[in-house]
């Protein structure tokens, strides 16, 4: 995933890019998809390289490659051309950020208010739940304890009757 401004530089000298996503990153995959270029599969015969400029300033220029560049890629020439490209894109990027910053602030303001309201409602609901839950739990325990005692009484009587009946059967061995 490319961070910041991404460019695909082709062996035939084309510099391809597209608009950034909401986070300000230009996707190399999206550039390749739109240009109809298949991704590099052979690192020895590559027809393009990926450039990444994370801060949108030429000082952060780097090739987004796993190892060495192909012989046709002249780092200085690519860097110079990317710098010119960044300068052409900069006014549009500045306008985008100028518009997005207040919109983002408004979004966060609205979301913060909604979150506070949500928390208030959740806290009240939780308090009500706690208030109702404790007495309900106590009633549950009381009913369960009574039911368990009745169950034990019935089982003990049934067990005693069972033992009495089987003790009359031939072959029954009783522990002493």
Query: What's the chain look like in SS3?
Result: CCCCEEEEEECCCCEECCCCCCCCCCCHHHHHHHHCCCCCCCCCCCCEEEEEECCCCHHHCEECCCCCCCCCCCHHHHHHHHHHHHHHHHHHHHHHHHHHHHHHHHHHHHHHHHHHHHHHHHHHHHHHHHHHHHHHHHHHHHHHHHHHHHHHHHHHHHHHHHHHHHCCCCCCCCCC
Strands 5-10 vs 15-16: parallel, antiparallel or unpaired:
antiparallel
23: domain range?
A: 5-90
Region 104-131: what's the mean pLDDT? 92
pLDDT bucket at 114, cuts 50 / 70 / 90: very high
Query: Is 163 among the domain residues?
Result: no
What is the pLDDT at residue 70?
84
The answer to whether position 16 is within a domain reads yes
Q: Is the pLDDT of residue 160 over 80?
A: yes
Q: How far apart are CA 73 and CA 64, in angstroms?
A: 13
**Which one is predicted more confidently, 80 or 163?**
80
pLDDT band at 111 (very low <50, low <70, confident <90, very high): very high
Half-sphere exposure of 71 (CA within 13 A, CB side): 2
Most confident of 4-13, 39-48, 161-170: 4-13
The whole-number pLDDT of residue 174 equals: 67
| Position 133 in a domain | no
Q: Looking at the domain assignment, is residue 101 inside a domain?
A: no
> How confident is residue 125, by pLDDT bands cut at 50, 70 and 90?
very high
Question: Is 84 inside any structural domain?
Answer: yes
Confidence of residue 55 (pLDDT cuts 50, 70, 90): very high
Measured distance CA(45)–CA(71) in Å, rounded: 10
Number of domains in the chain: 1
User: Is the residue at 82 inside a domain?
Assistant: yes
- 153-171 average pLDDT score: 84
Q: Residue 72: CB partners within 8 Å, gap ≥ 6?
A: 11
Whether residue 11 lies inside any domain: the answer is yes
* Domain contains 12: yes
């Amino acid at each position: 995933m490319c961070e910041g401004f991404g460019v695909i530089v082709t062996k035939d000298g084309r510099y391809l890019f597209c608009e950034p996503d909401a986070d300000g990153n230009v996707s190399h995959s999206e550039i390749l998809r739109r240009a109809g270029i298949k991704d590099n599969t052979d690192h020895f015969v590559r027809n393009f390289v990926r450039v990444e400029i994370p801060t949108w300033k030429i000082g952060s220029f780097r090739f987004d490659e796993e190892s060495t560049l192909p012989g046709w890629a002249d780092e200085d020439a690519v860097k110079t051309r990317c710098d010119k490209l960044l300068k052409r894109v900069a006014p549009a990027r500045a306008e985008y950020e100028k518009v997005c910053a207040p919109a983002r602030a408004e979004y966060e303001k609205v979301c913060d208010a909604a979150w506070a309201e949500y928390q208030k409602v959740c806290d009240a609901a939780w308090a009500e739940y706690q208030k109702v839950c404790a007495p309900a739990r106590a009633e549950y325990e009381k009913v369960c304890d009574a039911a368990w005692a009745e169950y034990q009484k019935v089982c003990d009587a049934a067990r005693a009757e069972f033992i009495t009946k089987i003790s009359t059967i031939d072959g029954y061995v009783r522990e002493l």
